[in-house]
Amino acid sequence: MVGYNSYKLNLDAHKSVPKTEETMALLITDECIACDACREECPNEAIEENDPIYIIDPDRCTECVGHFDEPQCIAVCPVDCIISDPDNVENIEELKFKFEKLQEEE
């Protein structure tokens, strides 16, 4: 039971971290209707058409850091199928660094 309590304390502490400190790359769920709205809005071209749903390339997704105050794909998604990807946690500095590297590619 001690392990569970330690895990719970760490989880609770993680939940209280503000978005500006730690964020997660985005993920498109199975609810995607492939409407193309998100792909058109992504400034980093991180969203690709896939069958049957679209996918987000975590190496290109900066959650719109460097472009906008919030992820544009989430703002335009008509079915709210874009969520945080717990397998790709990044802090704001990492997202800014990724943005700068992507800009150098252009």
Half-sphere exposure of residue 5: CA atoms within 13 angstroms, side-chain side: 2
Q: Where are the domains of the chain?
A: 22-105
Under the banding of pLDDT at 50, 70 and 90, the label for residue 22 is low
Query: In 1-106, which ranges are E strands?
Result: 22-28, 47-48, 55-56, 82-91
The token duo for 40 is: 């058109």
Residue in 87, 90, 53, 52 with CA at minimum distance from that of residue 71? 90
pTM: 0.74
Residue in 67, 72, 69 with CA at minimum distance from that of residue 47? 72
| pLDDT, tens digit (0-9, with 9 covering 90-100), for 29-54 | 999 999 999 999 999 999 999 989 99
| Residue located via tokens 């709210």 | 80
56 bridge partner residues: 47
Report the topology of domain 22-105: Alpha-Beta Plaits (3.30.70)
